[in-house]
Amino acid sequence: MRRFVGLGKAEATKGAGTTMSTQSEAGDSLSAIMRERRQLINLAYRLLGSLADAEDVVQETYARWYAMSPQQRKAIDSPGAWLTRVASRVCLDLLGSARMRRERYVGQWIPEPVPEPSEWVTADPADRVTLDESVSMAFLVVLESMTPAERVAFVLHDVFRYSFAEVAEIVGRSPAACRQLASSARRRIDASQAPPAPPAKRADIVRGFKEAWETKDINALIGLLDPAVTATGDGGGLVTAAPRPIGGNEHVAQYFIDLARRAPGNMTFLERTVNGQPGLVAQQDGATVAVLAFDIAEDRITRIWAVLNPEKLRPWTAG
């Protein structure tokens, strides 16, 4: 994908005949604008659950900025706020069409997983998502159940700390209505979350899952899974994945054992941070073929999300 960083550099070098001071001012302005890129990526990813879509949103946002005349850009008091407002509105429009696109999606749609910053294989640090509880897979999945307006109002206010007056300007509703939207979204989040296990305990449970999967120990797997556990796979129609979520600890354990037995080549499992939480990466002959995220309550795994769609594994694979 063409990155807008390159377009920004081209814009900065356009018009080499200008004066030194004008070039310096343009360079300073460009640097300030491009420093907003990471914030915009973080916002758009949380709103859309897709890095590819987030990058497209940022591209479109910068395109609209540079479509204005220099005089129009100079008249904007806070370019960062302008960029955030435009990116949020683009996301809001995309969310309205996302449901239709995901209805046509082959199999189950899972948000795109992201690694911890030190493990990204992409070269541009501005494209790396900052990890916190608002990017956990469980959190993003709940966001998917919200209306576009709820999602935007909640993320902007509760995650990015925008006032409801600012949110209202973006969403196109009154501040009171935006407060209600965020409150409704908050109730959805609260209703979906069980008391989380301590981080060290989560890591131990994921490690136990890895070891049981490697050794094909079905009884150990069953013991780590909640009786009502669900496992969801996302192959996007590009690789084989279960067409529907699998439920029940015995069924889920058997499914993963069967996967390990059928896997061709040399399959290895690595403990990695997935969306800020302990997770696993499956590699076949050194290539990443799946990223697994887990939801854990107390001492049992309650949900597993396995992303196999290669288009969603770009930050995890070199080349």
Same-domain status, 206 and 104? no
168: tokens are 């209202």
Cα separation, 295 vs 207, in Å, equals 14
What pLDDT does 318 receive? 57
Structural domain ending residue among the three candidates 83, 109, 135: 109
Burial of 79 (0-12, 13-18, 19+ CB in 10 A): middle
Select from 90, 109, 128 the last residue of a domain.
109
pLDDT of residue 67: 95
Please state whether beta strands 287-297 and 277-284 pair in parallel, antiparallel, or not at all (unpaired).
antiparallel
Question: Given CA atoms 253, 257, 263, 269 in this order, what sign does their dihedral have?
Answer: positive
Per-residue b or e along 138-161, where b marks 16 or more CB atoms closer than 10 Å to that residue's CB: bbbbbbbebebbbbbbbbbbebbe
Residue 121: per-residue pLDDT: 66
Whether residue 137 contacts residue 45, with contact meaning beta carbons closer than 8 Å, is answered with: no
pTM for this model (two decimals): 0.85
Please give the distance of CA 55 from its chain centroid, rounded to a whole number.
Answer: 11
68 in a structural domain: yes
Per-residue pLDDT of the chain (319 residues; tens, 9 = 90+): 222 222 232 222 233 333 333 444 444 467 778 889 999 999 999 999 999 999 999 999 999 999 999 999 999 989 999 999 999 999 999 998 877 677 788 899 999 999 988 777 665 666 778 888 889 999 999 999 999 999 999 999 999 999 999 999 999 999 999 999 999 999 999 888 777 778 899 999 999 999 999 999 999 999 999 999 999 999 999 998 988 999 999 999 999 999 888 877 788 999 999 999 999 999 988 889 999 999 999 899 999 999 999 999 988 975 3
Sign for the CA dihedral angle at 142, 144, 150, 154 comes to positive
Question: Last residue of some domain: 109, 140, 164?
Answer: 109
Which residues span the domain enclosing 32?
4-109
The single-letter code of the amino acid at 41 is I
pLDDT at 82: 94
**Domains identified in the chain, total number:** 2
Q: Are 311 and 212 within one domain?
A: yes
In a domain, 16, yes or no: yes
**Does residue 134 lie in a domain region?**
no
Find the CATH number of the domain harbouring 294: 3.10.450.50
- How many Å apart are CA 221 and CA 60, to the nearest integer? 46
Tell me which long-range contacts 64-68 makes (C-beta under 8 A, separation of at least 24).
65/33, 66/7, 66/8, 66/11
Determine the 3-state secondary structure of 3 from DSSP. Answer: coil
Tokens 């919200």 belong to which residue?
146
Question: What pLDDT was estimated at residue 122?
Answer: 61
In a domain, 75, yes or no: yes
pLDDT at 8: 30
What's the pLDDT score for residue 126? 67
